[in-house]
């Protein structure tokens, strides 16, 4: 069975994949329907009905999605070649540039026990629902003044969410509706997780240069990793219960197949790409998925000093 690649960064490629996957023979009719329909007042269900698509009939095991991930490193890519693309838990467990960089500054992350260690002291991570376990009148458990209690709390919660609630998943771009992906957040300069740690250390010590020091090591260089990944490697997509009822599906929604939901996502997102409308730009890869170095197409870029 030939695989079908949905490259949501490219309109023509998306249209071809949509027709290939759902076996749409009359592509001229499909393109006319897509471009002439008022999608502000209609939903993807109109497309499903127009081409009599039975969502359960199309096997998604052959479907791949083009992903892009931005990273920075200063080891010549040695860790990437050795380990492939790692999830966040693995980043703090293996000898990666980030783990080594932090260790040189007396910082480490114990993901399993939800702790940040700084200068020999332990700082537990916590969720928004949990009480900060170390704060007593703006002091930590060791009697040290925490300079910005609000920043400390917010950064700890964010770090905990990424490592525990989100299970350290790899986040990738699957589209770029709002502009170049390298302009997202701080990713072309340093990882977002380093930014979170920077805020925590700054709140504890009163000063920090983690992000700036990492930037200086990169010499304004970043890398775009591109790869195709099977759709089953992503976190579950939304539950389109109401739309399925509208389409007349008589199914037990507790037992609805993931393939059906993935097919809805493929149609809905393809329509938005082809018609230049807002679409999904981000995907979360399951932490158990392995992405080897050989699977990556790597492009080296530099950013202009904005200061």
pLDDT of residue 136: 47
Instruction: Point out which residues pair with 226 in neighbouring strands.
Output: 68, 297
Please tell me whether residues 206 and 81 are part of one structural domain. Answer: yes
Contact present, 178 and 281 (Cβ < 8 Å) = yes
Does 306 reside within a domain? no
Tell me the per-residue pLDDT of 168-199, one tens digit each, with 9 for 90 and over: 899 999 998 778 898 888 999 999 999 999 99
Please tell me whether residues 81 and 216 are part of one structural domain. Answer: yes
Domain that holds residue 256: 4-65+228-300
pLDDT at 222 over 80: yes
Does 197 reside within a domain? yes
Does 177 reside within a domain? no
User: Domains in the chain: how many in total?
Assistant: 2
Does 176 reside within a domain? no
Contact present, 151 and 203 (Cβ < 8 Å) = yes
Please tell me whether residues 119 and 199 are part of one structural domain. Answer: yes
272: confidence class by pLDDT, cuts 50, 70, 90: very high
Tell me the per-residue pLDDT of 41-89, one tens digit each, with 9 for 90 and over: 888 889 999 999 998 899 999 999 999 999 999 999 999 999 999 999 9
User: Cα dist. 304→16, 69, 183, 185, 190 in Å?
Assistant: 36, 20, 12, 15, 14
Contact present, 21 and 63 (Cβ < 8 Å) = yes
Does 113 reside within a domain? yes
Does 61 reside within a domain? yes
Average pLDDT over residues 243-257: 62
Contact present, 92 and 109 (Cβ < 8 Å) = yes
pLDDT at 1 over 70: no
Please tell me whether residues 117 and 217 are part of one structural domain. Answer: yes
Q: Is 23 exposed, middle or buried (0-12, 13-18, 19+ CB in 10 A)?
A: exposed
Does 70 reside within a domain? no
pLDDT at 144 over 60: no
Please tell me whether residues 37 and 115 are part of one structural domain. Answer: no
Please tell me whether residues 296 and 277 are part of one structural domain. Answer: yes
Please tell me whether residues 162 and 216 are part of one structural domain. Answer: yes
Does 256 reside within a domain? yes
Please tell me whether residues 125 and 216 are part of one structural domain. Answer: yes
Instruction: Report the predicted TM-score, pTM, of the whole model to 2 decimal places.
Output: 0.89
């Amino acid at each position: 069975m030939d695989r079908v690649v949905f490259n949501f960064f490219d309109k023509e490629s998306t249209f071809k994949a949509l027709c290939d996957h759902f076996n749409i023979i009359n592509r001229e009719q499909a393109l006319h329907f897509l471009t002439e329909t008022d999608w502000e007042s209609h939903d993807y269900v109109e497309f499903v009905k127009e081409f009599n698509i039975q969502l359960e009939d199309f096997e998604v095991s052959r479907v791949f999605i083009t992903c892009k991930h931005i990273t920075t490193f200063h080891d010549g890519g040695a860790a990437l070649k050795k380990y492939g693309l790692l999830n966040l838990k693995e980043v703090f467990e293996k000898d990666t540039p980030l783990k080594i960089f932090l260790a040189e500054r007396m910082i480490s992350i114990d993901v399993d026990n939800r702790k940040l260690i700084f200068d020999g002291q332990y700082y537990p991570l916590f969720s928004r629902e949990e009480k900060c376990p170390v704060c007593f009148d703006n002091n930590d458990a060791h009697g040290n003044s925490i300079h910005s209690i609000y920043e400390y709390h917010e950064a700890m919660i964010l770090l905990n969410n990424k490592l525990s609630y989100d299970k350290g998943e790899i986040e990738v771009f699957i589209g770029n509706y709002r502009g170049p992906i390298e302009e997202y957040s701080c990713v072309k300069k340093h990882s977002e997780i380093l930014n979170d740690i920077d805020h925590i250390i700054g709140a504890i010590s009163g000063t920090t240069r983690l992000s700036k020091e990492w930037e200086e090591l990169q010499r304004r260089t970043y890398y775009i990793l591109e790869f195709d990944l099977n759709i089953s490697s992503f976190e579950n997509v939304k539950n389109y219960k109401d739309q399925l009822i509208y389409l007349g599906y008589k199914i037990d929604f507790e037992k609805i197949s993931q393939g059906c939901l993935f097919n809805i996502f493929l149609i809905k997102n393809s329509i938005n790409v082809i018609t230049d409308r807002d679409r999904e730009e981000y995907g979360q890869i399951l932490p158990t998925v392995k992405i080897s170095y050989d699977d990556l197409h790597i492009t080296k870029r530099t950013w202009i000093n904005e200061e």
